[in-house]
Amino acid sequence: MLRRRDFLTSALASTALAASPLPLVAMKASAQPASVPRLPPAFLWGASTSAYQIEGAVTADGRGPSIWDTFSHTPGRINDGTTGDVACDHYNLYAGDVELMARAGLQAYRFSIAWPRVMPEGTGAVNAKGLDFYDRLVDALLAQGISPFACLYHWDLPQALQDRGGWHNRDIAGWFTDYAQATVARLGDRVKSWAMLNEPSVHAIFGHGFGNHAPGLTGWASYVKAQHHQNLAQGTALRALRAAHSDLMLGTVLSLQPVLPATDRPEDAAAAARFDAAWNTINLDPLFHGRYPAAFEADFAPLVQPGDLAAIRAPLDFLGVNYYGRAHVVNAPDSFLAQASFGPLPPGTHTTAMGWPIEPQGMVEVLARLRDHYGNPLVFITENGACFDDPAPVNGVVIDPQRVEFLRAHLAAAADAIGKGCALQGYFVWSLLDNFEWAEGERRRFGVVHVDFATQKRTPKASLGFLSDVIRGKPGTGIGGAGVASMP
């Protein structure tokens, strides 16, 4: 089903090693024991961000409001009271951020396009000035030899479309397809890799089920509608882009996590199976097998019209996998989410500052599942990273040994998965910059670059130095020879 295109090889070939190395204290601070196994020479190294989390400039050049503008300005919705109004001001500071990536030796940048910049009303007239920003960003990336990986939707729906029902309105498949076509028409001559959606199940669960993300809707019926219409939009847009362009690598991005019962009680085992269906297979099964998970077929049946499942099963060129940890689940009759919820972690499990378990082996499990049950698609890890309570910058660097160790362990897992035959092609760290972490606000820092939100000063963390060493195959990282220098 997955077609590996010649494009991938040519995209990688055009990625040049940036001329100047990263002259940072961070490099020295990152020295690690030689414990990361070798990754293939053509492995692609990138960093990931999303529009609302970093761009700021929410009223610049005709951008319309998004559901996250509305949500973050609603008192009580964001834990630290911040908004994405300014965030990292990447809209104005993108050139320096690209320069930083180049100096670190990163080869690819996954970012998202803000639909409300391109179509402020969600449909209709295209706002050329909004697209101009991405034009400038893409040119800056290409000038540094960094491959742009664009994602068309990372949760920032135009508010005007929410007012028309948003993801509950079936018409959104057409709205999204029009927006995707307009965007690719402008950028597709230079951006060759396009993901349709970021984590539809997470958007449906938290934004349309639990209600702690925008647009703040709740309940199972709401979740089901948001799921189906995202799946449909993904397939419809991808097919339209495929028909119009023959030289693009088209895919989508899912959040995948192994789901385990938190106890040995039978009801928790049953809950884990339901949770797995609602988080993972709700997207995987329609995408790869053209059906909804059996447990929920009846819930989806009233929404599914003839042809929908065939449209959703659009052949992908790649699947983006965002991996953070496993889910440990208990039976929870009051939970909207298939009467299941997150439960206690196994004793002794280390966690990040988000309370998320640190379980690198889960990445191997996710990739093995794709290998064994979904035809071993061509995969990029499009997000992986960790939030820790980092110390303040000292002498131009932030020392973040926990993040270094997190990355080291997950890169080892990536190598393990490749050794086991999984078609993993690259790794994008989440995130390039500390940013606006949705309902948590600015207090939760995932960046490999520290951002002082008061001054917008960027300070590289030791973890960026570590990644830079790994990419360049420096002695001491254990990945000797795996850097960009040896790419095809």
CA dihedral 53, 155, 325, 350 (to 10 degrees): 40
Does 437 bind ligand FCB (CB under 6 A)? Our answer is: yes
Give me the 48-77 binding string for ligand FCB, x by CB under 6 A, dash otherwise.
Answer: --x--x------------------------
**Could you say which of 383, 400, 434, 469 contacts ligand FCB (CB under 6 A)?**
383
Residue 322 in contact with ligand FCB, rule: CB under 6 A? yes
Whether 199 sits among the annotated catalytic residues: the reply is yes
- The residue among 233 and 484 lying less far from ligand FCB, judged by its C-beta, is 233
Query: By CB under 6 A, which span of 35-43, 242-250, 264-272, 430-438 interacts with ligand FCB?
Result: 430-438
Strand-pairing partners, residue 255, are 322
For the CB of residue 67, give the shortest distance to ligand FCB in the complex, in Å: 14
In the residue annotation, 442 being an active-site residue is answered as no
Selecting among 55, 359, 383, 442, the annotated active-site residue is 383
Pair of tokens at residue 135: 């034009």
Q: Provide the minimum distance between the beta carbon of 19 and ligand FCB in the complex, in angstroms, as a whole number.
A: 31
**In terms of Cα–Cα distance, which of 242, 241, 278 is closest to 257?**
278
Instruction: Give the nearer residue to ligand FCB in terms of CB position, either 43 or 279.
Output: 279
Residue closer to ligand FCB by CB (options 423, 433) is 433
Using CB under 6 A, which of 133, 149, 446, 453 touches ligand FCB?
446
CB of 87 to ligand FCB, least distance (A): 12
What one-letter code names the amino acid at 186? R
Single residue of 198, 222, 230, 281 touching ligand FCB by CB under 6 A: 198
| Separation CA 27–CA 159 (nearest Å) | 43
Span near ligand FCB by CB under 6 A; candidates 198-206, 233-241, 404-412, 417-425: 198-206
Compute the least distance from the CB of residue 198 to ligand FCB, in Å. Answer: 5
Shorter beta-carbon distance to ligand FCB: residue 331 or 352? 352
Least CB distance to ligand FCB at residue 246 (A): 30
Candidates 339, 128, 335, 314; CA nearest to 231 is: 314
Using CB under 6 A, which of the segments 195-203, 330-338, 412-420, 463-471 binds ligand FCB? 195-203
Q: C-beta of 186: minimal distance to ligand FCB in Å?
A: 24
Q: Give the residue with the Cβ less far from ligand FCB, 321 or 345.
A: 321
Q: Cα–Cα distance between 427 and 42 in angstroms, integer?
A: 11
**What is the CB neighbour count within 10 angstroms for residue 80?**
12
Residue positions counted in the chain: 488
Question: Can you read off the two tokens belonging to residue 255?
Answer: 């959040």
Where does this chain touch ligand FCB (CB under 6 A) — which range of 37-45, 186-194, 197-205, 459-467?
Answer: 197-205
Which one from 199, 359, 437, 442 is the annotated catalytic residue? 199
* CB of residue 446 to ligand FCB, shortest distance in Å: 5
For the CB of residue 480, give the shortest distance to ligand FCB in the complex, in Å. Answer: 31
| Shortest spacing between CB 346 and ligand FCB, in angstroms | 22
Where b means 16+ CB within 10 Å and e means fewer, 122-147 reads bbeebbeebbebbeebbebbbebbbb
**Quick one: 383 or 442, whose CB is closer to ligand FCB?**
383
If binding means CB under 6 A, how many residues of this protein chain bind ligand FCB?
12
Contact status: 202 vs ligand FCB (CB under 6 A): yes
Of positions 45, 134, 175, 438, contacts ligand FCB by CB under 6 A: 438
Residue with tokens 């993801």: 167
* 112 versus 177: smaller Cβ distance to ligand FCB: 112
Candidates 164-172, 194-202, 325-333, 447-455 — which segment interacts with ligand FCB by CB under 6 A?
A: 194-202
Q: Which is nearer to ligand FCB, 233 or 311 (CB)?
A: 233
| Residue closest to 40 by CA, chosen among 423, 322, 305, 437 | 423
- Looking only at the bridges linking them, the beta strands covering 327-331 and 259-261 are parallel
55, 156, 199, 390: residue in contact with ligand FCB (rule CB under 6 A): 199
Q: Catalytic residue numbers?
A: 199, 383
Interacting residues toward ligand FCB by CB under 6 A: 50, 53, 198-199, 202, 255, 322, 383, 430, 437-438, 446
